[in-house]
Chain A
Amino acid sequence: MTLIIFKTLLILIIFLISLGIAAYSTYGERKIAAFLQDRIGPDRAGPFGILQPIADGVKMFLKEEIIPNVSNKWLFILGPCIFMVTALMTSAVIPWGLPLEISGVKYNLQVADINIGILYVLGVVSLGVYGIMIGGWASNNKFALLGAIRASSQMISYELAMGMSVIAILLMNDGSLSLNSMVENQGTGKLYGFINISGMNWNVFYQPVAFLIFLICAFAECNRTPFDLAESESELIGGFHTEYSSMKLGLYLFAEYINMFISAAVISCLFFGGYNFPGISYLQEILPANIVSLISVAVLFGKIIFFIFFFMWIRWTIPRFRYDQLMRLGWQWLMPLSIINMLITGAVLIWIRN
């Protein structure tokens, strides 16, 4: 019974944190964009403009709700709903920290430790394509449809390379798909078998190529620059959300930031040891377990925030790809590269184990 209460609370907290981080990502994006361009950015709402997301949210709610006459009304409403729900659903399998111990019972800081963890993430993310596709199609607008087609073809193409790059990690993880076991494995053992720093056995040191492929694919999956052809406001007005207004547009934009948050979390968990940090076993000896657990949560969020920053940093550095460049990169470079990486990983693992 207490487990159910704990999980419900955890879901609620993660839900609120996701929304909060998504809201403040919009602020962070504007601020970082400004700073990278020698500007100041929003600074009028509250000190340093930290109330700006609230002002933006109120603005979104107060805008007129327009549903085009020629659109398919149910699908038009369904589109942003699916996109938002799938974006929020992914957070269920991410291990947020070391187990908390409340009155002698250990609680995992993970909503569901399902044994197909990463497969679930990939599956739910690909469901997100429906949100974009349905929204773009239901608008009954050529620009929206073009944007939706671009978005879905891009997401489907890059999912393959993404999945392939993850397989290399799975091979190293004895074939287990559970994100929790992956993160735990990165916290134990010696780096390269001889460098003894506790909690530093991160996959990125073994699989830099897989990390690079995964990172590039994550950009594509989130429809972020340099792969923001789905929106490409300079060519397609706004892509799949051209016809959307008010909070339905808000849901699309919001869900994109949640996607970014979740993919930053997945990258941290797969390649950067999740909640593990150097010196974690030393802290476990001198501090109470619950405090170490909270520190581990903070460390994971530090990594996530760094990756969100990195997403934004990339956005204001690299211009958008052309469509044929996008497809060539996905199919002719990343896809073969990830397969070769997977084969080499497998061969090396067999060689080590025999």
Chain B
Amino acid sequence: MQLTNRAQQVVQKEMTLAERLYLPAIFAGLSITIKHLFKKKATLKYPEVKREFAPVYRGQHVLKRDAEGRENCTACGLCAVSCPAEAITMDAAERKAGEEHLYREEKYAAKYEINMLRCIYCGLCEEACPKDAIYLTDRIVASEFTRGKFVYGKDVLVEKMDDRIDVSQRKKHYSIVNN
């Protein structure tokens, strides 16, 4: 099957004098390289300019809150079960009276940890989640000096009230895929 018309028959033939001199080939090469001097550069100046990620990019996780600021997670454990790398652990606790503004349902995760070194960013946790609680975002996990610091707890994972994380693009994509 012919895929392109660029294929060439390989032949063992004597090189002509021009080919053996190499100079024509060298000049052709020089003209190719000099053209690249004026081409648009592919580099992005990273901290100032950031490459746009795909809406489904799978980076650092976020534990979502609902519109009133209550945590969505009910510590059902489906994410931990679905996780192929066994990166997620959690402790469940019962919501006390007076904590209704903190947690959406009667059960919540008292401890929720993801080991970012174990995580393979497959996204199965967000697919498993029935409560709209965990999402992967386009944030990149920062580097650390010790391995222990890569075990992210709720202090890192739960989104801050003054710094909400928009996952609407992601949700949209999933709804297209699912329907």
Distance, CA A313 to CA B33, complexed state (A): 8
Tell me which of B23, B29, B45 contacts A317 (CB under 8 A).
B29
Contact indicator per residue, chain B 88-123, by CB within 8 Å of chain A (1) or not (0): 000000000000000000000000000000000000
Contact B41 A313 (CB under 8 A): no
Residue A12 interfacial (CB < 8 Å): no
Contact A35 B36 (CB under 8 A): yes
Distance, CA A313 to CA B26, complexed state (A): 11
> How many of chain B's residues touch chain A, expressed as a range?
10 to 19
Residue A39 interfacial (CB < 8 Å): yes
Distance, CA A314 to CA B34, complexed state (A): 10
Residue A37 interfacial (CB < 8 Å): yes
Distance, CA A43 to CA B46, complexed state (A): 12
Contact A37 B36 (CB under 8 A): yes
User: Smallest Cβ distance from A28 to chain B, in angstroms?
Assistant: 13
Contact A318 B29 (CB under 8 A): yes
Q: Chain B: which residue is nearest A43 at the CB level?
A: B45
Distance, CA A314 to CA B29, complexed state (A): 9
Interface positions, chain A 32-49, Cβ under 8 Å from B, are: 32, 34-40, 43
Residue A316 interfacial (CB < 8 Å): yes
Contact B37 A39 (CB under 8 A): no
Contact A317 B41 (CB under 8 A): no
User: Smallest Cβ distance from B32 to chain A, in angstroms?
Assistant: 8
Chain A residues with Cβ below 8 Å from B30 are 313-314, 317
Residue B175 interfacial (CB < 8 Å): no
Contact B41 A38 (CB under 8 A): yes
Contact A35 B45 (CB under 8 A): no
Contact A313 B42 (CB under 8 A): no
Tell me which of B23, B29, B36, B45 contacts A38 (CB under 8 A).
B36
Chain A residues with Cβ below 8 Å from B23 are 212
Chain B residues with Cβ below 8 Å from A39 are 41-43
Distance, CA A39 to CA B39, complexed state (A): 10
User: Smallest Cβ distance from B19 to chain A, in angstroms?
Assistant: 14
Chain B residues with Cβ below 8 Å from A35 are 36-37, 41
Contact indicator per residue, chain A 307-329, by CB within 8 Å of chain B (1) or not (0): 00000011011100000000000
User: Smallest Cβ distance from A218 to chain B, in angstroms?
Assistant: 15
Tell me which of A34, A40, A316 contacts B33 (CB under 8 A).
A316
Contact B36 A36 (CB under 8 A): yes
Overall SS of chain B's interface: helix
User: Smallest Cβ distance from B47 to chain A, in angstroms?
Assistant: 10
Chain B residues with Cβ below 8 Å from A317 are 26, 29-30, 32-33
Q: Chain B: which residue is nearest A316 at the CB level?
A: B33
Contact A38:B39 (CB < 8 A) given known A317-B26, A318-B26: yes
Contact indicator per residue, chain B 59-78, by CB within 8 Å of chain A (1) or not (0): 00000000000000000000
Chain B residues with Cβ below 8 Å from A316 are 33
Distance, CA A32 to CA B36, complexed state (A): 10
Most chain A CB atoms below 10 A, which of B23, B29, B33, B43: B33
Chain B residues with Cβ below 8 Å from A32 are 37
Chain B residues with Cβ below 8 Å from A313 are 30, 33-34
Distance, CA A32 to CA B37, complexed state (A): 8
Q: Chain B: which residue is nearest A212 at the CB level?
A: B23
Contact A40 B29 (CB under 8 A): no
Distance, CA A38 to CA B33, complexed state (A): 10
Distance, CA A36 to CA B41, complexed state (A): 10
Chain A residues with Cβ below 8 Å from B43 are 34, 38-40
Contact indicator per residue, chain B 136-172, by CB within 8 Å of chain A (1) or not (0): 0000000000000000000000000000000000000
Chain B residues with Cβ below 8 Å from A318 are 26, 29
Chain A residues with Cβ below 8 Å from B32 are 317
User: Smallest Cβ distance from B57 to chain A, in angstroms?
Assistant: 24
Distance, CA A209 to CA B152, complexed state (A): 69
User: Smallest Cβ distance from A175 to chain B, in angstroms?
Assistant: 31
Chain A residues with Cβ below 8 Å from B33 are 36, 313, 316-317
Most chain A CB atoms below 10 A, which of B34, B37, B39, B45: B37
Contact B45 A40 (CB under 8 A): yes
Contact A38:B26 (CB < 8 A) given known A313-B33, A313-B34: no
Q: Chain B: which residue is nearest A35 at the CB level?
A: B37
Q: Chain A: which residue is nearest B39 at the CB level?
A: A38
Contact indicator per residue, chain A 23-36, by CB within 8 Å of chain B (1) or not (0): 00000000010111
Distance, CA A35 to CA B34, complexed state (A): 9
Q: Chain B: which residue is nearest A226 at the CB level?
A: B26
| Besides A38-B42, A317-B32, 11 other A-B contacts (C-beta < 8 A) | A32-B37, A35-B36, A36-B34, A38-B36, A38-B43, A40-B41, A212-B23, A313-B33, A314-B30, A317-B33, A318-B26
